[in-house]
Amino acid sequence: MFFNSLAFAIFLPIVFFLYWFVFNKTKSAQNALLIVASYYFYSCWDWRFLFLLVFSTFLDYYTGIQIEKGKSEQNRKFWFWLSISVNLGFLGVFKYYNFFAASFSELLNSAGFHASPILLNVILPVGISFYTFHGLSYVIDIYFKRIKAERNFVDYSLFVSYFPLLVAGPIERATHLLPQVKVKREFNYQTAKEGVCQIIWGLVKKVVIADTCATYANAIFDHYTSMNSFSLILGAVYFAFQIYGDFSGYSDIALGVSKLFGLDLLRNFNYPYFSRDIAEFWRRWHISLSSWFRDYLYIPLGGSKGGIWMKIRNTFIIFVVSGFWHGANWTYLAWGFINAIYFLPLLLSNSNRNNMGAIQLKFNFDSAKIIMSILYTFSLTCIAWVFFRARTITDAILYLKRIFTSKDFSFQYLDNERYSYELLAMIGLFVLVEWNNRNKIEPLSGKRNILKLALAILAIMAFGTFSDYKEFIYFQF
């Protein structure tokens, strides 16, 4: 059941009605309804994965309590590592086993040994990377005594399985969501209204921007060997907007839906393409994952403290692991590695926190410099996205090489029976709208709300891509 499907358009009002009109007496009733709705939502993909979700939930719930109750450090450690290893074990089996087995076999073959890998015939359970990370952060926080273990299984289950964030995040923290789940929610008109605006803006990003860009990006990436320099540059830009519209659109819908139920989720995107350097980009892109890796990997490794080699090591670890989190493919590792290379000079020169404030533009030289730095950062990001999108690292390198060797900047007619440049006006308009609203969560709320909503709905109806249906990219992670 996708957020942009008819099934969800029926599911959501039913759950909303039951939540506020039938199960609204107590917090327990509200939570129980949301759990049932969440499990139903998840089982719409494949009911068999529900067992994995429930097992993972129970494991972290139980080990969390055992860690807290543990009398000796050894005992606490045992439950902690049990939880960590089982969680990562699931992730390893379902997501990474085949990749490692195939890569190892290739390595042996290239060394002259004959090896055929034993591969598992399993499909990746939807959202496993997201709910595993929910559970991991919970158990780690308990182990380091940052939070208390949750004793109410229903409340804890809701924290892990809450349907708006279940399959593609944002990756929530127990410190943020659990306290909200522990109290009865009261309906708030303003919050619900903001939620509706965020849902509709998320749909604009997904249906109008991401899915339309996908048509063009696919036509260019799938035939890059016959594309000229101009089309290849456009292909990278289209993919940049496809993945942004797709994932931030999903996050907006998730946050908006959650607001309808009175629960506030972590913000996941903050206009990342207006970043002035890569460090700022990573403070604005997939914020819940970046901060997760910062808090649970980077800082425990020593962070930016220590010597220069320590800094370099930690930077590469966090970016490469972050790339690998996205999927078992060398292209994701390369994407993480490239971002580490982008980030490292900023870290080593202590300028990774230079651009913390809001962007202010005036008619002066400094503003021109800001615009140039935004364009430069966006260009770097696009180069990295080529690795993320390409099927292999070789394809990505050849794609980038061809941009410089083709030297042809004419308009090309693509395989999708459209000209390569056709989306530029739409993207330009989208950037303009986002730029003018960069200090808000989304552009639709505020003054003339109904008019802005009408324009957004008009854009969805008239410019949206519907027939060539595409699922959300991040579901595969």
Partner 1 sequence: MKRFLIYITKIFFVIILLAIVLDGLYTAIFMQSENRGKIETVFNSKAQQYDVVILGSSRANNHFVSQMFEDKGLKTFNYGMSGGHLFEASLLLKLMIERKYTIKNVILEADLNLSTDHEAEGIAAKFLPYIHNSKVIKDHFATQENSNELYYIPFYRYIKYETKIGFRETFFTAVHKKTNALDNLGYYPLGFKKNANMKGNLTNLNPLPNNKYYEEIKNICKINNIRFIPVMTPVCENEIGMNYFDKVKKAYPEIHNYENVVVENKYFSSCGHMNDTGAKIFTAKILKDFFNK
Closest separation in Å from C-beta 454 to partner 1: 5
Alpha-helical (H) ranges within 168-277 are 174-181, 189-203, 211-221, 229-260
Residue 467 found at the interface with partner 1 (CB under 8 A): yes
Residue 10 found at the interface with partner 1 (CB under 8 A): no
Residue 411 found at the interface with partner 1 (CB under 8 A): no
Which of 192, 297, 312, 400: binder of partner 1 (CB under 8 A)?
192
Choose between 9 and 119: whose C-beta lies nearer to partner 1: 9
Which of 113, 189, 309, 363: binder of partner 1 (CB under 8 A)?
189
Grouping H, G, I as helix, E, B as strand and the rest as coil, residue 419 is strand
Footprint of partner 1 on 90-119 (CB under 8 A): none
Residue 458 found at the interface with partner 1 (CB under 8 A): yes
Under 8 Å between Cβ of 415 and 219: yes
Residue 6 found at the interface with partner 1 (CB under 8 A): no
Which pair of structure tokens corresponds to residue 442?
A: 């989304």
Closest separation in Å from C-beta 237 to partner 1: 20
Residue 415 found at the interface with partner 1 (CB under 8 A): no
Choose between 29 and 453: whose C-beta lies nearer to partner 1: 453
Closest separation in Å from C-beta 189 to partner 1: 5
Choose between 20 and 337: whose C-beta lies nearer to partner 1: 20
| 457: amino acid identity, one letter | I
- Strand pairing partners for 51? none
| 430: amino acid identity, one letter | F
Residue 20 found at the interface with partner 1 (CB under 8 A): yes
Residue 313 found at the interface with partner 1 (CB under 8 A): no
Choose between 191 and 373: whose C-beta lies nearer to partner 1: 191
Q: Which of 18, 27, 349 is nearest to 180 (CA)?
A: 27
User: What is the biggest distance separating any 2 CA atoms in the chain, rounded to whole angstroms?
Assistant: 72
Closest separation in Å from C-beta 458 to partner 1: 6
Choose between 19 and 388: whose C-beta lies nearer to partner 1: 19
Q: How far apart are CA 373 and CA 297, in angstroms?
A: 29
Query: CB within 8 A of 267, min separation 6: which ones?
Result: 170, 255, 287, 441
Closest separation in Å from C-beta 234 to partner 1: 17
In a 10 Å sphere around its CB, with 0-12 CB exposed, 13-18 middle and 19+ buried, how is residue 242 labelled?
Answer: buried
Which of 47, 55, 187, 413: binder of partner 1 (CB under 8 A)?
187
Residue 223 found at the interface with partner 1 (CB under 8 A): no
Residue 463 found at the interface with partner 1 (CB under 8 A): yes
Choose between 92 and 464: whose C-beta lies nearer to partner 1: 464
Residue listed under structure tokens 């002035």: 276
Under 8 Å between Cβ of 155 and 120: no
Q: How far apart are CA 47 and CA 43, in angstroms?
A: 4
Q: Which of 176, 175, 171, 138 is nearest to 291 (CA)?
A: 171
Footprint of partner 1 on 417-436 (CB under 8 A): 418
Closest separation in Å from C-beta 450 to partner 1: 6
For residue 244, report the phi and psi dihedrals to the nearest 5 degrees: -65, -50
Residue 18 found at the interface with partner 1 (CB under 8 A): no
326 noted as active-site residue: yes
Does residue 13 have a cis peptide bond before it, meaning omega lies within 30 degrees of 0? no
Q: How far apart are CA 389 and CA 57, in angstroms?
A: 33
Residue 464 found at the interface with partner 1 (CB under 8 A): yes
Catalytic residue among 114, 134, 223, 326: 326
Residue 58 found at the interface with partner 1 (CB under 8 A): no
Footprint of partner 1 on 240-299 (CB under 8 A): none
| 246: amino acid identity, one letter | D
Choose between 94 and 261: whose C-beta lies nearer to partner 1: 261
Q: Sign (positive/negative) of CA torsion 31, 12, 472, 99?
A: positive
Residue 193 found at the interface with partner 1 (CB under 8 A): yes
Q: How far apart are CA 412 and CA 415, in angstroms?
A: 10
Residue 465 found at the interface with partner 1 (CB under 8 A): yes
| 384: amino acid identity, one letter | A
Strands (E), 70-174: none
Which of 7, 148, 461, 471: binder of partner 1 (CB under 8 A)?
461
Q: How far apart are CA 170 and CA 188, in angstroms?
A: 22
Choose between 174 and 217: whose C-beta lies nearer to partner 1: 217
Closest separation in Å from C-beta 65 to partner 1: 38
DSSP conformation class of 225: G
Choose between 53 and 203: whose C-beta lies nearer to partner 1: 203
Q: How far apart are CA 268 and CA 246, in angstroms?
A: 13
Catalytic residues: 326
In the complex, the residues that contact partner 1 under the rule CB under 8 A are 20, 187, 189, 192-193, 196, 418, 450, 453-454, 457-458, 461-468
